[in-house]
Amino acid sequence: MNPYTGEVVGVAARATAAQALEVARAAGQFRCELAAYERADILSRCAELIERAAAEFARSICRESGLAYKDGTKEVSRAVAQLRFAAEEAKRITGEAISTDVTPTAGRRMAVAFREPVGTVLAITPFNRPLNQVVTKVAPAIAAGAGVIVKPSERTPLTATLFVRTLLGAGVPERMISLVTGDPITVGETLVTSGMVDMVTFTGSATVGRRIAQRAGMMRTAFELGDSGALIVLEDADLAAAAAEAAAGAFATSGQSCRGVKRILVQDTVADDFAALLRAAAERLRVGDPLDPATDIGTLIDERAAHAVDGRVREAVAGGARLLCGGRRAGAQYWPTVLDHVDRRCELVREETFGPCAPIVRVRDFEDALECVNDSRYGLQAGLFTQRLDYALHAARTLQVGTVVLNGGPQFESPNVPFGGVKDSGLGREGIRYAIQEMTRIKTLVL
């Protein structure tokens, strides 16, 4: 269903548990015979095909998810970049030679440690980036020579289907990739507990991640879960740049990003000036028809999600927060919202709020900000605006997160850097090269 118009925009099969098991059984029989250059060529061709069909992919993203066309086109560009980088990394999977003459008993022999595909990878993907979240998991799996089963979100299966068809058109062997659509329990949990997949890579909520972890057993797993993404703004910061990053991180993809800005910790001495800049940035954004190229913010995934965001905003205001702009809902749409004097204990900032909200929490100083960031069950990425290098180094050592971004927001991403979190934000790392390491295992030959 299109969240903006309510119209049916496509149909996907609701697989049964028996069908899911049949797919897993067939996928488990796949053994990759493709050379590294052949896998690289397939990924490169897929990138070219998607680039040619960029408008079709962007429209598909917008129609099924309600994201603005601007967000859709950015997502397509990111997917193309990931595929091209994965093509390069497919040719860089190496091992090492190890001499065993380190003890009298081993003798002078040579061990060769090399990487082989982990087996069948089950990729379970969320609704918020219907293309890029699939590519993030499938591209490194193909590069590694692993077979992959894609279980996309039941809310946004159409773009995933379009991508898999494109990948098949680029020459990937049919048995190397499977797509199963349906609900999380009947399909997702059946596949996780089937005993016929070798790795689960999941992006979604911490609650579902824990459920999968409990059921996966002795299997390789990688989890990219939620966050209460923090952006620290200190009194020596470039406030205009910080406000621009805060707006981009809080409002892009309608605020539905695990690495987005979820709370802005601003030193009290500059909080008034910063709040005025952020409010102005939010008020410039246009909310409207997702397919209109001029729209900045489309809808949330559905009306229930918008209700949930509105409830947390109202709770924060009742707790003393000042609503500077936004706080308005119409159907599945929610207007970009800026709040100041937000209580750091309220649910809006302690939990992952998936909506276009920019809550400002005032802090006394740098140490207070660090304490506030770490007082969370999440730890994915954090941003820090300051001119002091010693603060940046101290933050990198102190913050309990996977990545610290200096003079940038937690939304930073690049296909060649490791991405992942600590605590309830997940296990393992994405980023093409690092995902390939997760999707391969080391085997040793002693000569």
CATH number at residue 341: 3.40.309.10
For residues 74 and 197, state if they share a domain.
yes
Tell whether 11 is covered by a domain: no
The pair of structure tokens assigned to 118 is: 């982990």
Q: What is the CATH number of the domain that holds 123?
A: 3.40.605.10
Tell whether 336 is covered by a domain: yes
For residues 247 and 99, state if they share a domain.
no
Domain count, the chain: 2
For residues 180 and 52, state if they share a domain.
yes
Tell whether 419 is covered by a domain: no
Helix/strand/coil (H, E, C) string of 49-94?
HHHHCHHHHHHHHHHHHCCCHHHHHHHHHHHHHHHHHHHHHCCCCC
Cβ contacts of 187 within 8 Å, gap of 6 or more: 15, 17, 20, 151, 180, 181
Helix extents (H) in 188-233: 190-192, 206-216
Q: Which domain holds residue 312?
A: 230-406
Give the pLDDT score at 106.
86
Closest CA to 352 of 286, 417, 441, 423: 423
Tell whether 9 is covered by a domain: no
Give the pLDDT score at 89.
98
For residues 199 and 242, state if they share a domain.
no
Tell whether 148 is covered by a domain: yes
Distance, in Å, from the CA atom of 328 to the CA atom of 340, rounded to the nearest integer, reads: 16
For residues 199 and 79, state if they share a domain.
yes
Cβ contacts of 83 within 8 Å, gap of 6 or more: 43, 44, 46, 47, 50, 135, 139
For residues 160 and 290, state if they share a domain.
no
The pair of structure tokens assigned to 218 is: 């002795």
For residues 330 and 394, state if they share a domain.
yes
Q: Which residues does the annotation mark as catalytic?
A: 224, 258
Query: What is the DSSP track for 389-426?
Result: HHHHHHHHHH--SSEEEETS-TT---TTS-B--SGGGE
For residues 241 and 314, state if they share a domain.
yes
Question: If the chain, 447 residues long, is cut into consecutive pieces of 10 residues, what is the mean pLDDT of each piece?
Answer: 96 96 96 97 98 98 98 98 98 96 91 97 97 98 98 97 98 97 94 97 95 94 96 98 98 97 98 98 98 98 98 98 98 98 98 97 98 98 98 98 98 96 96 98 97
User: What is the value of pTM for the model shown?
Assistant: 0.96
For residues 246 and 140, state if they share a domain.
no
